[in-house]
């Protein structure tokens, strides 16, 4: 990896932010989807526990 690679032929300030932003979008998608699922599971468990409490 020499300086030529990192400078991207003079286009480094356009190329690297694109790949950085793409990585951020991929990470955000995965993180937010998992967070959404975890929150749904917690809410569902809470509803089921309340329902079980009412029955007993």
Rg (CA), the chain: 23
Core vs surface per residue 6-34: b (16+ CB within 10 A) or e? eeeeeeeeeeeeeeeeeeeeeeeeeeeee
Cβ 41 to other proteins shortest distance, Å: 6
Cβ 3 to other proteins shortest distance, Å: 13
For other proteins, give the closer residue by CB, 19 or 56.
19
- Binding residues (CB under 8 A) for other proteins: these are 5, 8-11, 14-15, 17-19, 21-22, 25-26, 28-30, 32-34, 36-37, 39-41, 43-45, 47-48, 51
């Amino acid at each position: 990896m020499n300086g030529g690679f990192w400078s991207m032929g003079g286009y480094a300030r356009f190329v690297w932010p694109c790949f950085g932003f793409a990585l951020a979008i991929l990470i955000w998608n995965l993180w937010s989807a998992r967070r959404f699922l975890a929150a749904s599971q917690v809410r569902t468990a809470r509803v089921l526990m309340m329902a079980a409490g009412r029955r007993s």
